[in-house]
Homo-oligomer: A and B are copies of this chain.
Amino acid sequence: MSRRTLNIALLQLSFSDDLDANQKKLADSVAKACAQKDKPALIVFSELHNGLYFCQQENADAFTRAETVPGPTSEWCCALAKQHQLVIVGSVFEKTTDGDYYNTALVADSDGSLAGRYHKTHIPYDPGYYEQHYFKSSSEGFHPIQTSIGKLGVLICFDQWFPEAARAMALAGAELLIYPTAIGYDPENSQAQQIRDREAWITVQRGHAIANLIPVASCNRIAYEAAPDTSQSSGINFWGSSFVCGPQGEFLAQANDQDETIVHATVDLSRTEELRKVWTFLRDRKPEMYHK
């Protein structure tokens, strides 16, 4: 049987508020990833890569960061995807023409077209992550984005903690879950708590792979970012730890929590169908029981 494998690269990078420098770093990293022997067919950026993670605090001025889709960032992603003949999952603070604001993931296909977008559904609002101040929650549900390389189940960061989102994407036909992310250690927590938080973040996503028998690719930013008003908060130490796991949650590649790096992995999309013959979770769901 011929197998459907897919080379993936995740760009685990730090960002400043210099948009041009961020885009140059991303473009250079894409070129570097493509120079590898196993050229990626899919490259994932981390969440809100145009600048610092501005949601650490509530600040009306930050709304000026928003842009339309299509718009400058989506066009830049599409051009980069076409240039390198691969699929890119990017991220942008989106303002719609009717005045809504979304935390949006973009999928640029290898022909330079915009294959689709996803509006983040689960929006955090807790110390350091005041996203409900900025973003409306999606009202669209969970729909995989069809691309030249398959149906991508694109979700975003806080969605990671919700098995419902992963399941809905899988039931709608997603072949792979992809999470652009910005999450980190709270410097005020003990080291033991920091580790528990990070391990929980990794483990719950591996669980989504297992429950649905599809791979997961999760790309997080790295490095410490101070809060805009340092008197209010200790900032966030983004923990990286970007990873790709297979459909039984097995690690295929994993970055550390210290370094900017490119994570390369090859997933075998044929495994899903094989495993679902043995582990018949989708067949044996009892949806009529879940709301009793």
Residues on A lying within 8 angstroms of B by beta carbon are: 121-126, 137-142, 158, 161-165, 167-168, 196-197, 199-200, 203-204, 206-208, 210-211, 248-250, 278-281, 284-287, 289-290, 292
Contacts and interface: CB of A to CB of B under 8 A. Distances in A.
A164 B285 contact: yes
A267 B5 CA distance: 42
A197 B142 contact: no
Nearest to A288: B139
Nearest to A168: B290
Nearest to A143: B292
A174 to B, nearest CB: 14
A161 B126 contact: no
B197 A141 contact: no
A286 B203 contact: no
Copies in the complex: 2
Contacts of A163: 163-164, 167, 207-208, 211
Nearest to A196: B248
Given A206-B207, A207-B211, A250-B199, A286 B161 contact: no
User: Lowest 6 A-B CB distances belong to which pairs?
Assistant: A207-B207, A141-B292, A163-B163, A200-B248, A204-B210, A200-B210
Contacts of A285: 122, 162, 164
A138 B289 contact: yes
A209 to B, nearest CB: 8
Given A121-B286, A122-B284, A162-B211, 12 more contacts: A126-B279, A138-B289, A140-B289, A141-B289, A161-B211, A163-B163, A163-B207, A163-B208, A164-B287, A168-B289, A207-B210, A207-B211
Nearest to A172: B292
Contacts of A141: 289-290, 292
24 contacts: A121-B289, A122-B284, A123-B284, A124-B284, A126-B278, A140-B289, A141-B290, A142-B290, A161-B279, A162-B211, A162-B285, A162-B286, A163-B163, A163-B164, A163-B167, A163-B211, A164-B167, A164-B290, A199-B248, A200-B248, A200-B249, A204-B207, A204-B211, A204-B249
B140 A292 contact: yes
Contact of A207 (B165, B203, B287, B289): B203
Nearest to A132: B284
A211 B139 CA distance: 22
Contacts of A167: 163-164, 290
